Each structure stands twice: as structure tokens, then as C-alpha cells.
Chain A
Amino acid sequence: MVRWFWFIVAVLFGAALGMLYGWVINPVEFVDTTPSTLRVDYRSDYVLMVAEVYSAERDLEAAVRRLAILGDKPPDESVREVMIFAAQAPYADSDQALLSQLASDLQTRSPTLGAPAP
């Protein structure tokens, strides 16, 4: 009975060592990640780039396509999240204005038709 107890303790200790090695010392490396896994500041900068280009192009559909690579979230939600981050960071006022403009224009866009609502 005592032997079984120590056997289980050894298994648990070994498992802990294995997980320590697998998670901390030598974790699985991800080299082909998607934009949805980007850290929030990188993701925010990407959205800012979309907003910068949108301010020059005024092509809302292109902006939506560019935002789509960030994941399944609706584009206006992605931009709103970034606006919160931009306010906390804080980003320059001009950058926040670009984000705000994009968010505003996305809100007027009908998601089903993909065109600005009347």
C-alpha cells in the first residue's frame, strides 16, 4: 500500500517535470501563426495601417477585406477594440482620429449588403 502511494507520487512528480519541460523549458514553437494571434499592440498597429490607407483611398470594402484577416470578429468590432487600446496607450490624436473615422464609416455600412446604408 505504501509502495503504491510512493509510485503515484513519482508519477505525479514525473508528470510535473514533463509539463515543466514541455510548457516552459522547450515549448512547442509556432512559426506560421495567423494575424488573429498577434499581440494586441501589433494587432492595433495593423488596424491603424488599415485606417491610414482608408483615409487616403476611401475604399470601405477594401478596408473590410483587410480587417477580415484578423479573425472572425466583425470589422467594426475589431476597430472599436483597437480604439480602446489606442486611447489607453495612448496613440497620437491624429491616429485616433483615423481609427475613429474608420469605425464611424464601418458602422454606417450594412453588413449584409456590404455597402453603406442609406
Chain B
Amino acid sequence: MSTLIPAPTPNPEHSTSHADQHADQHAAPQANMQATSRRRLLQAGAAGTVLAGAPFAINIVRAQGAPIKIGFPTPLTGAFSAEAQDQVRAAELAVKEFNDGGGFNGRKVELLVRDDKLNPGEAASRTLELIEKDKVDFIVGSLSAATQLSINAVTRERKVIFNSISQSDAINEAKDWSPYTFHEALNPHMTAGAVARYAFPKYGKKVVYLTADYAYGHEMVRGFERAGKALGATTLADIRHPLGAADYSAFLPRIQALKPDILVLCNFGRDLVNSAKQATDFGLKESTRLVAPVLLFTSRVAGGADAFEGVVGGTSYYWGMEDSIPAAKAFNDKFRRAYGGAVPSDYGALGYAGVRSVLQAVVNAKSTDSDKVADALGRLEYNWYKGNQFYRKCDHQSVQSIIIVESKSKGMKDKNDVFSVASIEAPSESNLRSCSELGHKG
């Protein structure tokens, strides 16, 4: 099995410079043949040393108009590197699309990818570096609740727009928020609510939660219980397990004895794979439906058909939506063309949307000034890959559809055909916590 991106850790500093490839198309006419051939020599030198040559590229491009820089911190190394790398790929697709379309007044976009190692301290350092040293105009990124809060703390202070592309309930709250904070991704409240609204009426009212003992797990349980209360669901138990636990067998006899209708696996990534596998082994599926708030494409592929058979969960995007949603088909096809037939994952799509929204706001605002772009972004209505979306005024949460998928184990057309779309919950502000609850005035 090989990875799509070479496995040895990618360079933590990775600068994509589309600018120098287009430099000669936009070269101002040179009166002087000697200057043209000297430029050609410089370009050849820059092309040859492009990895170390970011400064060269900028020097050449300065003649046309400084590039618009977007900083992209994401955990390229660590447990979620697969998702992070997909975010990068999709973001680069958005940048290339924009540049191929002419850029902004001839200015091209550059994506500066940095590895935050899934560590809040590292994320803050990288973000500060991107703003102070690399002088980025905007920040898009993050893949965890903790890192996005620390990134936001930096961007908020420096008045730089940050469009977060991973889940967090806290980032919408007034105490962490600023007018430059935008949240492209779903949050636990929305996701858990949508899954609860689908699963509880369908499978039963007695619920047990097997929860990863950290902020994400707790937020998910809170979201489920809230939605569940309206539907008459009862919590039989909320069993906490340490983050990263490999063995869940110790919890399963107790869960079996409780005889729930639904077992909600409130964990993520590898924890979800392990708990789903082991719950399957213990024969829990005979009497209980397994539900997960977030069912990642990569987790399902890593865990295999057996472990995830019959598991129902939520997601922000699944490529299989292309059958019913034209925007999804268009996005998938773009991705396939760019990456040799590969399909975008859930977090990949967020990487694309996060960058594209910001760039569209730049065009709409006719400026790269933070305040003007923030204003334009706040007013943006868009449909990049799955249907209509917009940012809610009080907290800049992207109001969007939530997809409920069920894992497939039979009739799979190819290795990517792992889910069937069970339901799509339409975008609605009522899925979000109210502005006043989050502490926003007005």
C-alpha cells in the first residue's frame, strides 16, 4: 500500500510558488533584449532551485505585483497527517484554480504550508512566524480544537483573518472570537445534533456513550444529549476512556449488560477504529446500533468494512454525494483531474472551501485589507462543493448541510465506495447554538 504523498515527513516549510511559472506571461514588455535574456537566466536559476528559492521567486514577481499569501498551518506529522495532507492538496487546488483564472488584479496567490504537529504551542509559533516573518495576508488551517484556538489567539491580536477548517465548539464563543475569526468547518453541536436527529428516532431511545475523555468527546456528548432531550432519548451511561486507548474490551461487558438501543462512539480517528472493531467482536451489533458523530473517510478505509459495517455517522462531505449534488460532481472532477483519479475526503473539501471563500472575499472587497475582506467574507454566499453556504453574522460560523452516512460492506464499486449517503440535513441556523448562548450581543 503506498501513500499519495511520499511518507517521509514532508518539509515543514513548504512554499508553493505559482507566481514564477506565470511570471513570463505577465512580463512587462522589455525594451531591451539583454534584459529579457537576463530575466530568462534568472528564471531558469529560480526554477532550478525553487524549493530553496522562494526569495528568488518573490524578487522576480515583485516586478508584477506582490503575491497574496495565505498561511496554512496543519498537522503534517502526527496522528492526523493523512487528513492534513488532503487539506493541503485541496487548498493547493483552490489556489491553482484562482491563479489560473488570472488571480486578483494580476496578483497571484501563494500558499505557505506549515506543520503545527497537532500541538497548540507549535501552532501559535508557526502562525506568529507566518504573520511576522512571512507577512501573510490571511491564515486558513488547523485540524484540532486545541490548535485552532491557539492560532485564533494569535490572529485575533494581529487582526489577521483566520478561517478555521476543523471542528470546535469553543471558537464560536464570544470570549475566543474576534471579527477576523471565521469557521468553515462544522462544530460538535451541529454534527452531534444532526446525527442524533437521524439516529434516535430511527434506532431507539436508550443510549450509551463511549466517550474519549477530552474536549471533543465532551462537546459531542453535550450536543447529542441536547438534541436527544427533545426526542425523548435517555442516557444510560457516559463511559469515559482515555484518549488514544488501544483496548476497549474492558468497557464492553458493562455496555453489553446495559442493553442500549444505540451505542454512540464519541471518539475520533484511530480510537474510533479500535472501538468499532472491538464492539463488533463482542457481538454488540446484534442488539445495538453503533453510531459515531464524525465518520472520517480515512478511518473507515483504515478500519475496514467489517468493523464499520452498519455504523452510521456524520460528516461534512462525502464524494459519493456527486450523484445528487452537481456542485459535488464538479468539485470531485476537478480534484480527480489534478490528482490522478483520487477523490477528496471530508477534511480535504474543507481545505478547498476555506481557501476559496477567502479568495472570493478578496475579489468581492477589491482589496486585501483585513477589515474589508472580513466584511466581504461575512456577507459571502457561496456553493463551492456541496450546496449553499453562508457565514452567520454573529459568530461567522458557516451554515451548511450535514451529511449522514452509513458504512458499506457489500456492493462496493471500488476502494473509495465505502459509504452510502443516508440523509442530508439542509443548512439551517436553527442547528447552531443561539448567538446569545454563545455570548454574542445583538
Q: Do A and B come from one complex?
A: no
Report which A residues bind B (CB closer than 8 A). Answer: none
